[in-house]
Amino acid sequence: MQAWQYTTIKGPLESSLTLNEKATPPDAQSLPKGHVLVEVITAGVNPVEYKLPEAPLYGKFMVQPPASPGLDFCGRIKAINDTDDSLKEGQLVFGALSITSKFPKFGTLGQIIIAPVSQLTALPPGVSPDDAAAVGTAGMTAYQSLPQDLIKPGTKIFINGGSGGVGSFTVQFAKALGATVTTTCSTANVELCRSLGADEVIDYRKLDVMVELKKKGQIFDLAIDNVGTPPGIYEQSQHFLKPDGTFLQVAMQSSLSGMLRRSLLPSFLGGGKRQYRLVRVNINRKDLQQIGQWMAEAKVRAVIDQKFEWKEAPKAYEKLRLGRTVGKIVVHVGDA
């Protein structure tokens, strides 16, 4: 098979990738129980795929060289080692791999991957492989940042960052669940966020987000932070969240100590005055099925910033690194 691989990281990940046209594929005969081999059609890319390997400590211990980056995929089942009758060889599926103690050796920028059956589901009719590959990690993060037990029709949600890979899904999922949504984005993406269903959009290039939120008063049931700015947004959340409101943190803060402080420091010692949760993502079939159903029903769509062909795969990370991505970036890996 062909695979974009790296053995060591020197500088940016994309500079360390080489195309191996005779890479050794994973072996169907040694496929673990509960797993499938998937021939990848389209892969989605995520910032974590270059951030962790480039980190000196993480990169040294978590990478299994030679390795291919990539977590999100849509592809065709090539082999199965499971008793799940709903999966068949040749079936189109989509999902995402997980980062556990190590990065997957066979990432989705290789043409064949090993995937747990619990982390994929059938591709619904009418949904394209490109759109399905865009779901993966971002879609799971968005869905799981919306606690189902706290949302009912009319729930008011503030989503900080509505045009990125995660935020563009969060806005749509919240609307599909019946919520009223206020979100933020730059001037160029205001109309996009409105088209995704946002009831109100705050243009952070023209308005001070914190000033606008404070004007509204304590009206929001949930606040979801996909951005991490403006600084102190959680510490000031009592001005716009209801007394029983919850602040959910998706974007990583600049320091681990900052997140621990938010999680542990009581309000009387200077901590926030609203419940604070870190969003921890669990890739699972049930949530993937729900997202797939919404896409098939045209209630949700993937926002794709750019599609790269196989030979241009490293450029996908160059583009992603710029931090101005609207929606997701995908790479065409194999034939549909």
Structural domain contains residue 141: no
Structural domain contains residue 208: yes
Residue indicated by tokens 């974007």:
251
Same domain, 154 and 31: no
Structural domain contains residue 259: yes
Q: For position 62, what pLDDT does the model report?
A: 77
Same domain, 156 and 259: yes
pLDDT tens, residue order, the chain (336 aa): 999 999 988 899 999 999 999 999 999 999 999 999 999 999 999 999 999 889 887 666 777 789 999 999 999 999 999 988 889 999 999 999 998 767 789 999 999 999 999 999 999 999 999 999 999 999 999 999 999 999 999 999 999 999 999 999 999 999 999 999 999 999 999 999 999 999 999 999 999 999 999 999 999 999 999 999 998 999 999 999 999 999 999 976 544 445 455 555 545 444 578 999 999 999 999 999 999 999 999 999 999 999 999 999 999 999 999 988 999 999 999 997
281 and 141 Cβ atoms separated by less than 8 Å: yes
Q: For position 100, what pLDDT does the model report?
A: 74
Same domain, 231 and 317: no
Same domain, 162 and 271: yes
Structural domain contains residue 314: yes
Q: What is the CATH number of the domain that holds 15?
A: 3.90.180.10
Same domain, 132 and 152: no
Same domain, 165 and 121: no
Q: For position 255, what pLDDT does the model report?
A: 44
Structural domain contains residue 43: yes
What are the φ/ψ torsions at residue 309 (nearest 5 degrees)? -80, 165
Angle at the Cα of 115 (from 111 to 119), degrees rounded to 5? 130
Q: For position 323, what pLDDT does the model report?
A: 87
Range of the domain at 77: 3-136+302-332
Q: For position 258, what pLDDT does the model report?
A: 52
Same domain, 56 and 110: yes
**Structural domains of the chain, count:** 2
Q: What is the CATH number of the domain that holds 210?
A: 3.40.50.720
Q: How far apart are CA 177 and CA 168, in angstroms?
A: 15
Query: Minimal CA–CA distance to 69: which of 43, 108, 98, 40?
Result: 108
The secondary structure of the chain in percent helix, strand, coil, rounded to multiples of 5, reads 30, 25, 40
Q: For position 268, what pLDDT does the model report?
A: 43
Residue 327 region by backbone torsions, left for phi larger than 0, else alpha for psi between -120 and 50, else beta: left
Query: Minimal CA–CA distance to 10: which of 61, 74, 44, 53?
Result: 53
Structural domain contains residue 288: no
- Global pTM? 0.93
Structural domain contains residue 286: no
Q: For position 183, what pLDDT does the model report?
A: 99
Q: At a CB cut-off of 8 Å and minimum separation 6, what does 1 contact?
A: 23, 25, 110, 111, 112
Same domain, 114 and 43: yes
Same domain, 243 and 323: no
From residue 12, alpha-carbon distances to 47, 74, 109, 325 in Å are 12, 26, 16, 18
Structural domain contains residue 251: yes
Q: For position 141, what pLDDT does the model report?
A: 98
Same domain, 77 and 197: no
Same domain, 131 and 150: no
Q: How far apart are CA 122 and CA 322, in angstroms?
A: 33
Same domain, 173 and 112: no
Amino acid at 235: E
Q: For position 265, what pLDDT does the model report?
A: 54
